[in-house]
Structure 1
Amino acid sequence: MKRLMIFMMILNYGIVDAQPGTLKHFPKGSSPEEIGKRVANRFLASPHPNFGRPTPPSVITYPEVCTWYGALSFARASGDKLLRDKLAKRFDPLFGDEAALVPPPDHVDHTVFGAVPLELYQQLKEQRYLDMGKTIADKQWGTPEGAHVKPESVVYSDQGLTWQTRLWIDDMFMITAVQAQAYRATGNKQYIDRAAREMVVYLDSLQQPNGLFYHAPDVPFFWGRGNGWMAAGMSELLRSLPSDNPDRPRIMQGYKKMMATLLKCQAEDGMWRQLVDDPASWQETSCTGMFTFAMITGVKQGWLDAATYGPAARKAWLALITYIDENGDIREVCEGTNKKNDRQYYLDRKRITGDMHGQAPVLWCAAALLR
């Protein structure tokens, strides 16, 4: 009851205190500066995670990568050089004693790692970061190699796509993040152009008439975080994709179509659900964070009508942060999830506290609010 009362006070104050659609002037304790700092510091204090297992990971996992990238983005947007330096210090052992933890760029979940050194390069201008990140981005479109190569990998490669293509919606953040970062770091359009071509293939293959996405072609369910990866991936791509890119109109169309449906599916309290279109499913924080990030970015960039989407994004942010506990951990995060053609499978997924699938999008939102 106490939590509900606090939430209602924050929500009501936040809506009344601001002009309609504004994404500024948040109540004390709910500003992006305060929340971002708390969650980033929690990341710095956390060991390398291994999908909830008690043992250390064999390589850095993609949820950590996404959180690391989010923390660095927040540090840049907030001008916090001390935080940036602490995040860089966490990376230093990967050039030495912990080099074996650098993932091989042989799968989308591994290759996204390149987004972190590429962000460090943009902020610190040290060549070693660029060399590492660029090598990883290049190998994503290089010769198929490694344990994850399949017969279709060569087919995709011959079509000008990455050989790591697999048509899971998760890919459209993993691929987009590293390629967009390589473009931002180098100015070479080949990186962002090929990410855009890849995005169009995924849009044409997986987006449904209502604007949402199946988890995979053989899994007809609108899983929250899966759709979140797509929403965040389109946002990351579009905010750097040149206006003259021939694929931009198609991607923008897919993005706006998705945002319109998400607006309709948002719950009364501002959250989104584990199955986006299923009112019987539970409110889930990682997808809520990703959708919020996508809407904040759209409003800030002028792609979305501020009077319509600004209040929805604000309401979502103020709801999302009530799930952060005193340790800086966010609750109600869906555990790592494979695809399965079974509605109950998605509804029964474990709800975790502090999982980096949920920590990352909070940081993305904080950075986007400050850009």
Structure 2
Amino acid sequence: MNLFSKIFLGIGGTAVLTGMSLKVFPQENDGLSVAKKVADKVIADTHFAFTLVPQKEVLGLQVVDFRSLRPVSGQQVYAKSKLTAINDTVLSFGLSYAGQISIWINSKPVYDGENSVVKIPKEISYNRFTFNQRFSAGLKKGDNEIVIRYTAVEPRLPVVFLMPATKEGDLDAAARFSSGIKEESQNTSWMLLGPFNKMRQLNMQARLPDYLMEGTGVLNWVKSPQRFIPELETPATAAYQRDPYTDWHYSHGAMVWSIMALDTDGKYSAFAKQYIDFTLQQIPYFVYQYNSLFAWRGSYHRIFRRTMLDDTGAPILPFAEWLLREKNAAVKELVMPIANYVANEQHRLKDGTFCRPEPVEFTVWADDLFMGVPFLLQMAEITGDRKYYDDASIQVVNFRKYLLNSATGLYKHAWFNDKRQQSAAYWGRANGWVAWANAELLAKLPRKHPAYKQVLRNFRQEMKALIAYQDKNGFWHQVLDRPDSYEETSCTALFTIALARGVREGWLSAAYKKNAHAGWEAVKTKIDENGVVYGICQGTDIGYNQEFYMKRKTINNDPRGMGAVITAGIEISKLRK
């Protein structure tokens, strides 16, 4: 018996349809037309264009950029800012730089050091950064003056990165930076002075001068020049205004991938090709913006952050799909490094299960099954390498091990590996991501693969459990076992995908057909005549109680549900043929 045979031996079982009595809906073939109407609205709301916006500080991470002062080796420059503390406190700071620096807070020295190499902060999870080093300093309640003296050492980068940070690398909100200058908008909280020779050092025990006479010249306090950076446009008429559909995002990847499935050489594939080509054209500039201008929340930043499956496995789906359709060197150049990240750099538990360092280290998120598995299956086709099938299968089996509650047959949103416990709620979309990922694996995994039979058994058990929580009107709820939570569109669409494909492929009995149709009829009630989809839960972190999920807002045409709605329509149309 080989390793996979051992891993994938499980308890067998035959799915038996249970649950409430559901109305049998008419069998007209409207799934495809509705899916196209939704896709048409997405296309109309997508602009392949930019507008210029002022670059601003983001995430509380201070970028003290002396480059505009052009200091040469041995010259010194100063920076000052105001740090306002909520209470008297001792604050820990993350710090990265290359060169020599000294830092004072309220005229008291708190740091002095030298680094030969700068470790530019890396965002290892949402809003969490790594730094060269750390130091701590006391702050009084209210305003505190902080001053940095930097001595240039060419060719080192004359930029200092500083953030009040918890030990995990998150922003500590106990204090806030500002320049102290009254103005409507500021691109930086820091005033800069210099450069001048090292022999002339400011007296840090006295009030800093308002200007300096340097030989026959004058040095004034200045700010780094205000840059105006390109930002992807969202048209004013778009139903969804929070982010442009052209940006790199896991939900956009799933959405465009779904639109591609509407045809092979018509307007929907043409839209996908335009999306792909436009993205590829922007990469040379935006890698500069991210790595040199430190626009950590600028357009396309997730391509270069590349520290989670949200940044990699799901956004790349339409690109990998295009590579399956035709050889394209530029597409391959983007796809292969992301495949390497997913295979070799993505956070995992010791047994290889995908995980994240948030909200605590080694947390398994149900969402990540879809964020990773479909792309692994694409890579198996692209490369012919069986290891991708093996990895996808291990993820499906292990996610079930960690997240499934055997009493309900449902998946919890997360597994906290440090505490060896599951999270609080059966969030609908989390279970939906699992269902779609499992349906993708069954569709593409070779039937002779050692995992296939167990994956099929698990899928049948999952579908059997889910239909018991389907409302009589066809919907599933935001919290699956809480009928007092709202009817949620994206999870209903996701379960419809799995059920419809399951019946069509013979993985499920024909009795499940009415559950799939009921789900689709429910989804249709949330789509208006313009193709706008209502009732999609907004992006959702791991909640520590059910009420967190029940209070989440819904957003029209949120891309987190658009791919599911389009694919559900496609699957229903195939089921009815």
State the Cα distance separating 1:186 from its structure 2 match.
3.3
1:43-192 matched pairs, under 5 angstroms: 43-47=42-46, 54=242, 60-76=248-264, 81-98=266-283, 100=286, 101=300, 103-104=303-304, 105-111=306-312, 112-143=314-345, 153=347, 156=349, 159-161=351-353, 166-192=363-389
**Per residue, is there more helix in 1 or in 2?**
1
Compared CA separation, residues 53 and 33, structure 1 to 2 (3 A) = closer
Q: What is the alpha-carbon root mean square deviation over aligned residues? A: 2.5
State the Cα distance separating 1:163 from its structure 2 match.
7.2
Equivalent residue number for residue 529 of structure 2:
326
State the Cα distance separating 1:211 from its structure 2 match.
1.6
For 2:540 and 2:354, locate their aligned partners in 1 and report how far apart those are by CA, in whole Å: 23
Equivalent residue number for residue 486 of structure 2:
282
State the Cα distance separating 1:58 from its structure 2 match.
11
8 Å contact kept, 2:367–2:433: yes
Q: Secondary structure at the match of 2:572?
A: helix
Paired letter, 1:40: A
For 1:212 and 1:162, locate their aligned partners in 2 and report how far apart those are by CA, in whole Å: 19
Equivalent residue number for residue 317 of structure 1:
520
Range with greater deviation from structure 2 (57-66 or 308-317): 57-66
For 2:303 and 2:527, locate their aligned partners in 1 and report how far apart those are by CA, in whole Å: 30
State the Cα distance separating 1:46 from its structure 2 match.
2.3
For 2:556 and 2:277, locate their aligned partners in 1 and report how far apart those are by CA, in whole Å: 28
State the Cα distance separating 1:370 from its structure 2 match.
4.8
For 1:131 and 1:321, locate their aligned partners in 2 and report how far apart those are by CA, in whole Å: 39
8 Å contact kept, 1:130–1:185: no
Equivalent residue number for residue 17 of structure 2:
none
Deviation string, structure 1 residues 270-325 (Cα, Å, up to 9, x no partner) = 1111011111111100000000001011111100001x111110121122112112
Taking structure 1 as the reference length, what is the TM-score of the superposition? Answer: 0.82
8 Å contact kept, 1:182–1:191: yes
Compared CA separation, residues 261 and 44, structure 1 to 2 (3 A) = same
Residue 213 (structure 1) aligned to one of 398, 401, 411:
411
8 Å contact kept, 2:354–2:364: no
Compared CA separation, residues 202 and 327, structure 1 to 2 (3 A) = same
For 1:86 and 1:284, locate their aligned partners in 2 and report how far apart those are by CA, in whole Å: 28
For 1:341 and 1:163, locate their aligned partners in 2 and report how far apart those are by CA, in whole Å: 18
State the Cα distance separating 1:53 from its structure 2 match.
6.4
1:242-321 matched pairs, under 5 angstroms: 242-306=446-510, 308-321=511-524
Residues 1:239 and 2:239 are matched in the alignment = no
8 Å contact kept, 2:354–2:368: no
8 Å contact kept, 1:141–1:161: no
State the Cα distance separating 1:126 from its structure 2 match.
2.8
Compared CA separation, residues 370 and 282, structure 1 to 2 (3 A) = same
Deviation string, structure 1 residues 198-221 (Cα, Å, up to 9, x no partner) = 221111111111221011134121
Paired letter, 1:204: K
8 Å contact kept, 2:537–2:552: yes
Compared CA separation, residues 275 and 160, structure 1 to 2 (3 A) = closer
Equivalent residue number for residue 181 of structure 2:
none
Taking structure 2 as the reference length, what is the TM-score of the superposition? Answer: 0.54
Compared CA separation, residues 189 and 166, structure 1 to 2 (3 A) = farther
**Taking CA–CA contacts closer than 8 Å with sequence separation of 6 or more, which of the two structures ends up with the larger relative contact order?**
1
For 2:570 and 2:32, locate their aligned partners in 1 and report how far apart those are by CA, in whole Å: 9
8 Å contact kept, 1:295–1:309: yes
Paired letter, 1:245: H
For 1:174 and 1:55, locate their aligned partners in 2 and report how far apart those are by CA, in whole Å: 19
For 1:219 and 1:33, locate their aligned partners in 2 and report how far apart those are by CA, in whole Å: 37
State the Cα distance separating 1:137 from its structure 2 match.
1.7
Paired letter, 2:403: L
Q: Secondary structure at the match of 2:444?
A: coil
Alignment coverage as a number of residue pairs: 334
For 2:482 and 2:259, locate their aligned partners in 1 and report how far apart those are by CA, in whole Å: 32
State the Cα distance separating 1:81 from its structure 2 match.
2.1
Equivalent residue number for residue 22 of structure 1:
none
- Listed as ranges, the gaps of 5+ residues in structure 2 are 1-21, 47-231, 235-239, 287-299, 357-361, 416-421
8 Å contact kept, 1:106–1:140: no
For 1:312 and 1:125, locate their aligned partners in 2 and report how far apart those are by CA, in whole Å: 40
- Listed as ranges, the gaps of 5+ residues in structure 1 are 1-10, 19-24, 145-152
For 1:207 and 1:110, locate their aligned partners in 2 and report how far apart those are by CA, in whole Å: 26
Deviation string, structure 1 residues 207-236 (Cα, Å, up to 9, x no partner) = 111221011134121110111111111111
Q: Secondary structure at the match of 1:337?
A: coil
Deviation string, structure 1 residues 30-60 (Cα, Å, up to 9, x no partner) = x12211211112222224799x765659951
State the Cα distance separating 1:122 from its structure 2 match.
2.2
For 1:370 and 1:182, locate their aligned partners in 2 and report how far apart those are by CA, in whole Å: 28
Paired letter, 2:404: Q
Q: Secondary structure at the match of 2:523?
A: helix
8 Å contact kept, 1:329–1:353: yes
For 1:82 and 1:53, locate their aligned partners in 2 and report how far apart those are by CA, in whole Å: 24
State the Cα distance separating 1:170 from its structure 2 match.
0.3
8 Å contact kept, 1:49–1:64: no
Paired letter, 1:224: G
8 Å contact kept, 1:229–1:290: yes
Equivalent residue number for residue 204 of structure 1:
401
